[in-house]
């Protein structure tokens, strides 16, 4: 049987490993380790705020190794998951379809989305347990003509305890994440190797021969007939660079800014993250308790139980890059304009809910949906394969997105990885 190496166990990699196993003998390489949710009581960390010990967002990695935090040259905070399941373990579990840019270049994933709907439990059943603050915000958004929609969540909503820990790793197993796919791939015979950091792909005469990977401090070469890179929008470009394959300077990150106010008994810190979404032109709005800002931004001085927050997530311009030299990403005038517009809408919401305008404050600009540095084109629509890659090497993550979706991308990444896996199996048949 032909051998396949899949790099990364997040949405794209886990899906590719599961789909390919059987047609290929799959080895799944994950740079991180097994995921463990953050179980420290947040009240204990909250007590550290007045001490001044919480001064840099990167400190969270000491307490929560599954969350990797980096900063761009202009101090924007970038977050991604590190470990089995990738970023899906610390995402909000939204099963949102955001493939407009792919459709615009001729890529239709309807069949793959239909398959995902059958394979993954998705519902908005959480709406029955919304807290009063969420209900009020939802009704106000409807009154303002913003057309809010309850978020379709991947998982078992009946197991949700409204603990508010969605982005810290669900401790009750209510939220679906890509570890389920890893388990299925392993059950079918795939080998899963943790702590395996891929350095580069070895290429000769236009063909990928295998990968160089560091495991337990030792660099070794693993040969393969097929290689699928799914190390994420920040990881995959670095591997490609080391492999001698140039990416485009089109990094997007879906920047997030949370607008907050104090509202007695909001209890948003004990609510499901992003319970509903408002789609606007170029950005979305959603209720979201921003732990990063709460712990590290000095403006977030009110008690967690009494803090009400709305997320603004924008579809940013495709200008930026990551390389060995660092991450270069700045907000364009268009990006800033969208944030300003979102802030204005949030302020109106808070005023209508009865919050004191003197107590409104802004969070830290951060981002967790990087991609776009090997974007698909109309010429790639049938193959989903960039000409920059060897014939037996594919990318199966958000690096392929033609532009920023400005929406949770996990569901779309999985659909894309499904299609890519089908193409690989067809070629091997």
Number of Cβ atoms within 10 Å of the Cβ of 269: 21
The pLDDT of residue 41: 78
The percentage of residues in the chain with a pLDDT greater than 90, rounded to a whole number, is 91
Mean of per-residue pLDDT scores for the chain: 95
The pLDDT of residue 16: 98
Residue ranges in 29-159 assigned as alpha helix (H): 42-46, 60-63, 100-104, 110-119, 132-143
Nearest to 130 by CA among 151, 154, 105, 103: 151
How big, in percent rounded to 5, are the helix, strand and coil portions of the chain? Answer: 35, 25, 40
Query: CA-to-CA distance for 297 and 77, rounded, in angstroms?
Result: 12
Of the pLDDT bands very low, low, confident and very high (cuts 50, 70, 90), residue 42 is confident
312 bridge partner residues: 257, 285
Mean pLDDT confidence for 99-111? 98
Query: For residue 164, is it left (φ>0), alpha (ψ between -120 and 50) or beta?
Result: left
CA angle 330, 368, 239 (to 5 degrees): 85
- List the domains of the chain with CATH numbers: 60-77+126-174+252-367 (3.30.410)
Using one digit for the tens of pLDDT, what is the confidence trace for 54-71?
878 999 998 899 999 999
The pLDDT of residue 202 is above 80:
yes
Using one digit for the tens of pLDDT, what is the confidence trace for 9-35?
999 999 999 999 999 999 999 999 999
Query: CA-to-CA distance for 323 and 4, rounded, in angstroms?
Result: 26
Question: Are the C-beta atoms of residues 44 and 336 closer than 8 Å to each other?
Answer: no
CA angle 369, 235, 206 (to 5 degrees): 125
Rounded to the nearest angstrom, the gap between the alpha carbon of residue 366 and the centroid of all alpha carbons in its chain is 12
Question: Are the C-beta atoms of residues 254 and 31 closer than 8 Å to each other?
Answer: no
Q: Compute CA distances 111 → 46, 108, 155, 415, whole Å.
A: 46, 8, 21, 9
Of the pLDDT bands very low, low, confident and very high (cuts 50, 70, 90), residue 1 is confident
Q: Compute CA distances 427 → 12, 393, 415, 423, whole Å.
A: 19, 12, 19, 6
Q: Compute CA distances 66 → 81, 201, 406, whole Å.
A: 6, 25, 24
Strands (E), 124-230: 149-150, 153-154, 191-193, 196-204, 207-215, 218-223, 226-229
Mean pLDDT confidence for 239-265? 97
């Amino acid at each position: 049987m032909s051998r396949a190496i899949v790099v990364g166990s997040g949405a794209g990699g886990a899906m590719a490993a599961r789909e390919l196993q059987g047609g290929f003998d799959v080895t799944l390489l994950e740079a991180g380790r097994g995921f463990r949710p953050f179980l420290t009581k947040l009240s204990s960390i909250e007590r550290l705020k007045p001490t001044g010990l919480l001064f840099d967002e990167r400190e969270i990695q000491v307490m929560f190794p599954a969350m990797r935090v980096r900063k761009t040259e202009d101090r924007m905070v970038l977050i991604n998951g590190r470990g089995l399941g990738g970023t899906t373990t610390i995402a909000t579990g939204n099963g949102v379809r955001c493939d407009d840019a792919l459709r615009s270049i001729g890529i239709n994933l309807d069949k793959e989305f239909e398959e995902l709907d059958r394979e993954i439990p998705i519902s908005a059943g959480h709406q029955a347990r919304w807290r009063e603050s969420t209900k009020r915000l939802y009704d106000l958004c409807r009154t303002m003509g913003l057309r809010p929609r309850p978020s379709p969540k991947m998982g078992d909503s009946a197991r949700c305890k409204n603990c508010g820990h969605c982005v810290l790793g669900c401790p009750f197993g209510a939220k679906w994440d890509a570890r389920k796919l890893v388990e299925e791939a392993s059950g079918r015979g795939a080998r899963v190797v943790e702590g395996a950091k891929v350095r580069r792909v070895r290429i000769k005469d236009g063909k990928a021969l295998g990968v160089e990977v560091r495991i337990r401090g030792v660099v070794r070469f693993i040969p393969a007939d097929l290689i699928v890179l799914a190390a994420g929008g920040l990881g995959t470009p670095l591997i490609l660079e080391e492999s001698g394959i140039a990416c485009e300077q089109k990094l997007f990150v879906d920047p997030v800014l949370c607008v907050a106010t104090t509202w007695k008994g909001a209890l948003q810190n004990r609510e499901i993250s992003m319970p509903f979404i408002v789609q606007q032109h170029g950005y979305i709005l959603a209720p979201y308790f921003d732990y990063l800002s709460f712990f590290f931004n000095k403006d977030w001085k009110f008690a967690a139980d009494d803090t009400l927050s709305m997320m603004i997530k924008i579809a940013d311009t495709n200008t930026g890059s990551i390389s060995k030299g660092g991450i270069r990403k700045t907000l364009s005038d268009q990006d800033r304009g969208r944030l300003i517009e979102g802030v204005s809408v949030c302020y109106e919401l808070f005023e209508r809910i009865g919050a004191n305008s003197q107590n409104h404050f802004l969070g830290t600009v951060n981002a967790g949906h990087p991609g776009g540095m090997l974007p698909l084109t109309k010429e790639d629509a049938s193959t989903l394969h960039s000409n920059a890659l060897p014939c037996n090497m594919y990318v199966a993550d958000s690096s392929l997105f033609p532009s920023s979706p400005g929406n949770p991308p996990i569901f779309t990444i999985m659909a894309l990885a499904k299609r890519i896996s089908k193409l690989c199996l067809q070629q091997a048949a």
